[in-house]
Amino acid sequence: MSLETLGWGPDLDLALSNAVSPSSSSLVPGRVVRQQRGLLTVQTAGAAFLARAAGRLLHQAQGAEALPTVGDWVLLQPPASGDGEALMHAVLPRRSLLKRREAGSEHDGQLIAANVDVVFLVMGLDGNFNPRRIERALTLAWNSGATPVVLLSKADLAEDAAERVLEVEALAPGVDVLAVSARTGLGVEDVRARLPPGRTGVLLGSSGVGKSTLANRLLDAARLVTQPVGPEDKGRHTTTHRELFVLEHGGLVIDGPGMRELGLWGDEAEGLATAFADLLALATGCRFSDCGHQNEPGCAVRAAVEDGTLSEERRASFEKLQREQAFQHRQTDAAAQRAHKRVERARSNQGWALTRSKRRGE
């Protein structure tokens, strides 16, 4: 398999020339194509190897974000024997990185995929549909540096698929929204068209929304195990690993386990600003530049909610994600932590002074 088949391009030629030194001339480039319970498989031009990070790479990594994940291009030392483990010595610069906060944790992150061009946000129309979850997923996708596309799956089971498409288009201006059905083939060619040769996509969604079924349809083969959705439209975790597949026409797609939680991780602000561009455009009309869109006088966002231009649910969703992002920023930025403590201390002092004043008045 050639590196070009895996998505290698001119930008990586330059990265490779900068990364390879005389002491590392024996290293070969490859792409991480599979991850399961910490085990990585790297495909090179000559062969596929089970691989692990070399000690120096682990030592120099500034957190989990610096370690390889599915979709990464790495430099590795092939094993001396054909059945041994390869050692990954470097991760080549990424053009995108999709990540989330680890489920059940406030501090730890999880890498989902690297070097993807398009993030397919898959949501089922069989009871899984949730506009607020779409907003959250869009924020993650825009933060990654890739382009999001919303796929409303199982469209053959919904009588209102066309209305749902319009609803999502309204909350995701400029984002392609497709109704698809892996069973009937509806929209599958539209998905395939967004993955021309060398372009990589990743399927992101909850368990049971049909990601693996769609991947099988794109592959024209039953490569991935699927199961029917359980009672009350609850998906089952059938896929237990992440894997990159090369499609027959040359596009690439990454499938992985379903995710019930899509917590924000990191301090990137671009994703939230892009996902809620309509709300931020309204905010430019607020009387105060630091308006919190609560009860401040002259709030253009609140005015839009009152006249029906903006839904209260969308405003509340933005506020929730903004708080979550600010919290994550404080976890990674010492200056932000100190500033937050100063604000909280000032609020506490103001509250104490107000209470003392009231008592004196009594």
Which residues are annotated as part of the binding site? Answer: 153-156, 205-213, 286, 291, 293, 299
Annotated binding-site positions for Zn(2+): 286, 291, 293, 299
Helix (H, G, I), strand (E, B) or coil at 216: helix
Write out the H or E segment, with its range, that includes residue 114. Answer: strand 109-114
CA–CA distance, 40 with 48 (Å, rounded to integer):
10
CA–CA distance, 305 with 256 (Å, rounded to integer):
38
Residues 76 and 125 sit within 8 Å (Cβ to Cβ): no
3-state secondary structure 38-70: CEEEEEECCCEEEEEECHHHHHHCCCHHHCCCC
C-alpha separations of 348 from 167, 338, 355, 359 in Å: 43, 15, 11, 17
Annotated binding-site positions for GTP: 153-156, 205-213
Taking 3-state DSSP, the helix, strand and coil percentages for the chain, each rounded to the nearest 5, stand at 40, 20, 40
3-state secondary structure 255-310: ECCCCCCCECCCCCCHHHHHHCHHHHHHHCCCCCCCCCCCCCCCCHHHHHHHCCCC
Write out the H or E segment, with its range, that includes residue 100. Answer: strand 97-101
Residue with tokens 């995929």: 113
Nearest to 321 by CA among 357, 358, 272: 272
State the Rg of the chain over Cα: 23
Q: Which two tokens stand for residue 23?
A: 């002491």
Residue with tokens 């509340």: 316
Residues 321 and 272 sit within 8 Å (Cβ to Cβ): yes
